[in-house]
Chains A and B, each alone.
Chain A
Amino acid sequence: MSFKTFTSFLVAGVIAASAAHAQAPALQSQNDAEKARITALVAEAAKEGSLTYWDTVLQPATKNALLPAFIDHYGLPKTFKIEFSEIAPSNMITRLEQEAKAGRATVDVAAIASPIWVAAQARAGALMKYESPEYKNYSMVAEAGLVENGFYAFNGAYVFVPMWDPDKVKVAGDSWKDVLSVLQEGRVSVGNGAASDATIMTYIGLKTAMGKDYVEALAAKKPVFIPKSETIASRVVTGEDMMAFMGMPTRAYQLNQKGANLKYVLPKEGVTLLPQNFFIMANATHPASSKLWFDFILSEKGQKIIVEKEAMISGRNGFTSPIPDYAPAINKLHLVHIDWNKMTPDDLQAARREWMAIFKQ
């Protein structure tokens, strides 16, 4: 190879590399310090080559949509991989607790709707402290006590609300009371409060909004206790249940795309927001990739993909939902205010015992 050819290749390489960096959207309209920080993280993440991400709600198809956008956003190598699992909450908690105790981490980043547990992990030093620049875009939910800056945010939130097939049931009105009046005994489902945190959190919100009498009236309808949101929605589609009292709009969105006809209501007295808390493990073995992933998921671009694919509610300030019918803007919701940071695991257990007594489960 002649000197001239070599020089041409070198110049072309430098231009290509510069262009790639210049084109990386994450670097656009950033100040120099932030550009330098991101560039260093990208270089480190490229060396790491992958990260492991566990989530209790997001589906593999959503990860498949997020990954190329993530690579493109930071100009990472196309070979960058995300080892992803959608896993049940109890299994995730057991694994992460045991790994944290042993000072190990096979999981870098995780998300779970269990704010009391996540807050306890942050206090115990199991979560990485990371001052993401994206926190400033989540000031509204931070004020509501739903995230703790420096430790955890949420990648989306969901609610459990009444869901039905309008061809089989007519619900007039938008009150919790309107829903109760059409329930048939034994043909309504609720979550499995004996084993699900999200169900108990919803119960706490429902009791706050409507009082214990309302919950007792619901229990008198002899509901069935279904553990998975997918099964809850599917039972309404087949007609096995006339109503899912704790249905997840995400499931209505996904099943309606396949030909179901599910409708839900956000009752005017208020709903309980279940934040899918999102954090990096303290001993993460891919720290640079984890930080970039954390920032990306919270970015406008990441939130848009998650909301479009999962119909989750974004906590980002001023976010415009691409599917407002299923995932309304957070400021359009009437939320029952519960300060999860002030609740302890014992409070959660006490609420669970109360649920078990009311529902005779």
Chain B
Amino acid sequence: MDGYFQTVITTSLSDQDVWTRRIERWVPGLAIALGVFLAVIPVAATLLRSLTLDGTDGLTLIHYTKLFTDPRAQLAARNTLIIGTSVTLGSALLGFLLAWIVSRTEIPGRRAFELLNLVPFFTSPYVGAMAWQYLTAPNSGLLVYLARNWLGLDLSFLRINSIGGVIWVLVLFYTPFIYLFVIGPMRNLNGALEDAARVHGLGFIDTMRRITIPLLAPALLSGAIVVFVTSAGLFDVPVILATPYAIPTIPALIFESIGYPSDFGRAAALGTMMMLVIVGLILVQKYIIGNRRFETVSGKGYSPRPAKLGPLSHLTCLAIEIFYIGFGAILPLIAVLLVALSPIWKGWFDPNRATLENFRYVLEEFDMTQHAILNSTFLSVLGATLIVALGFLQAYRLQSRQGWLAKTLQPILSMPNGIPGIIFGLGILILLIRTPLYGTYWIILIAYVAHYFPFAMRSIGALLMSLSPELEQSARSCGATWWQTLRMVVIPLSRPGLIATWLMLFIILVRELGSTILLYGQGTETISVAMLLLSEQNFLYVAALAIVQVALLSLAFALLSRNSKSLFQ
């Protein structure tokens, strides 16, 4: 650190000018103002639409009263609540365990597991749901067939077409969210606190319960909110596993509402209720976190020591990793690959008829694929970068100002996350359809930034809470400017979390469909749009494109992490 401050002192003396101070004051403030603008307009549009009836003047609560008196909507709300809560708890437990195993143990293959834990994240939940349908469908599932014919077992109890099935698939595919939220702060954890607990006689479980988990509470809670909102609002998985069996969910009701004849008022009322849920969750998060301090990174040079595990614990950790990667990545990918290599899927893979025709069609004949890959890469890289920059500045400002304004702004700024993608996309479409932005990349980019900046703000906010203010104060007292402090102290210390947030956003944007489907134009299609259009033709093509997508993302992440000891360190 000495080198740092020496540089800070030397450069700061010559850089303190009026522009620096202006930038310090205005840049984070502008980021907040932009966030409020981006949040308020779609939120207000959704709220207004939920309170108006086509062809009439004035405001009405009819969409809400209809929803509250509709038994199907009540059942859908109950199912969605069960799904959201169970997925959040399941993903939190599994994500936390995986992050802990990778960052705090010395099991063999830790480095490989760090990347493999992300593989389920590279697959779209739609493809994941189809994969599990192919694996465990009661009359034609691959695993059901194998178990019956090779082992004499009846696997009909698995019931993939149920709320339990939806929860199972979503837990597998949302665990990486929590993993990404937690792994950075866990790596930054001050090991002295855990050491102190152990010195005072606390065992491993108690240390975890009273020290480790509470210190990671901001990251865990932020991740949990993201998982709850996105899993409860996700349409793809329930539509494959639950809707066919008359199990309603809120996203399915929203999808029905935008069909013909459309009822956007009803869809907006459902979206508004989702927003209220997210505001409620953020207030609960605030209450839990309260005014406690969560600094785990200070000026003292502690770093967490690997946990000392016995052979049985080692084996358990390995088993958890194998369980997750097996069920979250390997099995579904095998199913998707076998489907993609078949000319027609009859419930069983016939090696004599294996073909690459589906890959050829997707990569050569379907002319959208190639530019969809380029478009997705461009939009996701630029979108994730802009969102992280915006989220960082917002979180930084809100962290440093804890007044009433900051406390009020935080739930407001989080509201766009609560709006389902399709409703958000519709709002942007109505707002910008008359502008030259319509049909270009930029309208999609605006929708991405406006919808997803709260993810970054919350994720980075949790990260900044773990940094001791003494670090920044030391730099400033040595004469460093705001920008120098950010560049030399805050950003380097936040790097693991910033990278994790960027990766998470990159993947989210690659998979984004809700908004994109209403905003894409000819030539601006993304991979998700191509997948949806292929799904109208044949799922075998979707399977082939999904394999290509997973291969490309795995390769990119492997290359990215090749030159560093760890991607998140």
A interface residues (Cβ-Cβ under 8 A, vs B): 52, 56, 59-61, 64, 83, 85-91, 93-95, 97-99, 102-104, 106, 114, 116-117, 187, 189, 192, 194-197, 224-228, 230-231, 234-235, 237-241, 255, 258-260, 345-346, 348-349, 356, 359-361
Contact = CB atoms under 8 A, between A and B. Distances in A.
A88 B536 contact: yes
6 contacts: A56-B536, A88-B536, A224-B245, A230-B538, A230-B539, A234-B345
Contact of A85 (B256, B262, B533): B533
Contact of A90 (B259, B345, B429): B259
A195 B245 contact: no
Nearest to A196: B259
Nearest to A349: B261
B517 A91 contact: yes
Contacts of A195: 255-256, 259
A225 B244 contact: yes
B274 interface: no
B239 A227 contact: yes
Given A90-B255, A194-B256, A359-B246, A102 B433 contact: yes
B521 interface: yes
B532 interface: yes
Contact of B259 (A89, A98, A102, A226): A89
B375 interface: no
B45 interface: no
Interface in B504-524: 517-518, 521-523
A87 B521 CA distance: 12
A238 B522 contact: no
A348 B262 CA distance: 11
B140 interface: yes
B490 interface: no
Contacts of B138: 240
Contacts of B261: 117, 345-346, 348-349
A97 B260 CA distance: 11
A235 B240 CA distance: 12
Contacts of A349: 261
Given A89-B259, A195-B259, A225-B244, A260 B139 contact: no
A234 B244 contact: no
Contact of A239 (B139, B243, B258, B532): B139
Given A60-B366, A90-B258, A224-B245, 11 more contacts: A83-B523, A95-B429, A95-B518, A194-B243, A195-B259, A230-B538, A237-B345, A238-B139, A239-B347, A240-B140, A255-B344
Contacts of A114: 260
Contacts of B439: 106
Contacts of B521: 106
B260 A230 contact: no
Contact of B260 (A85, A86, A197, A361): A197
Contact of B258 (A94, A240, A345): A94
A228 B535 contact: yes
A359 B245 CA distance: 11
Interface of B: 72, 137-140, 161, 239, 243-246, 252, 255-256, 258-262, 343-347, 353, 365-367, 426, 429-430, 433-434, 438-439, 517-518, 521-523, 532-533, 535-539
Contacts of B245: 224-225
Nearest to A61: B365
Most chain-A CB neighbours within 10 Å: which of B246, B261, B429, B537?
B261
B137 A238 contact: yes
Contacts of A87: 533, 536
The 6 closest A-B pairs by CB, nearest first: A238-B347, A345-B261, A238-B140, A258-B344, A83-B522, A240-B140
A52 B536 contact: no
A224 B242 CA distance: 10
A94 B255 contact: no
Contact of A192 (B244, B262, B434): B244
B261 to A, nearest CB: 4
Contacts of A225: 243-246
B546 to A, nearest CB: 16
A116 B532 CA distance: 25
B137 to A, nearest CB: 5
Contact of B343 (A52, A192, A258): A258
A38 to B, nearest CB: 26
A197 B433 contact: no
A348 B140 CA distance: 35
Contacts of B438: 104, 106
A234 B260 contact: no
Nearest to A103: B434
A2 B49 CA distance: 73
Contacts of A60: 365-367, 537
Nearest to A231: B539
Most buried by A among B244, B260, B518, B522: B260
Contacts of A259: 343-344, 346, 353
A298 B75 CA distance: 47
Nearest to B434: A102
Contact of A237 (B258, B344, B430, B517): B344
A104 B259 contact: no
Contacts of A258: 343-344
A187 B434 contact: no
A89 B260 contact: yes
Nearest to A257: B344
A86 B533 contact: yes
Contacts of B72: 356
Contacts of A89: 259-260
